[in-house]
Amino acid sequence: MTQDSNQLGIVVKLETESGRRDEVLDALCNLFGETSRHANFLEARVFKGLEPDVIMLVELWAETAESFKVRASTSDYFAAFEAEAGLAIRSREVILMDGDAVWSRMP
């Protein structure tokens, strides 16, 4: 992936095991409580899908995809999230994007 901006956008779709979405949401709140303190963290939103076992994450970071991958693979708080919620997640899809939106509207 070539990244032209100084921002990294991340969209993650999680599908949880049946009835375990709240467990994963609690673990995500713990994870973002830690990651939001990181100097490169810009924003994150967590959404419940209309399907009962789906969660969507939208994140924005001031770093490259490579530096984010290194930090995610070596940090204690990502490891804690996996220990807490990993078995409750049936599948995950991660999309990394150039963090500069092509179009945006905020109220």
pLDDT in tens, 57-80: 999 999 999 999 999 999 999 999
What confidence score (pLDDT) does residue 25 get? Answer: 98
Structure token digits, residue 78: 């990502």
Average pLDDT estimate for 4-18: 91
What confidence score (pLDDT) does residue 14 get? Answer: 98
Distance CA 107, CA 97 (A): 23
CATH number assigned to the domain with residue range 8-98, chosen from the 4 options 3.40.50.300, 3.30.70.100, 1.10.1060.10, 3.40.50.1370: 3.30.70.100
Q: State pTM to two decimals.
A: 0.89
Distance CA 51, CA 86 (A): 20
Sequence letter at residue 45: R
| CA torsion through residues 72, 76, 79, 85, sign | negative
What does the H/E/C string look like for 11-60?
Answer: EEEEEECCCCHHHHHHHHHHHHHHHCCCCCEEEEEEEECCCCCEEEEEEE
Average pLDDT estimate for 80-85: 96
Average pLDDT estimate for 78-83: 96
Q: Return mean pLDDT, the chain.
A: 93
Give residue limits of the domains in the chain: 8-98
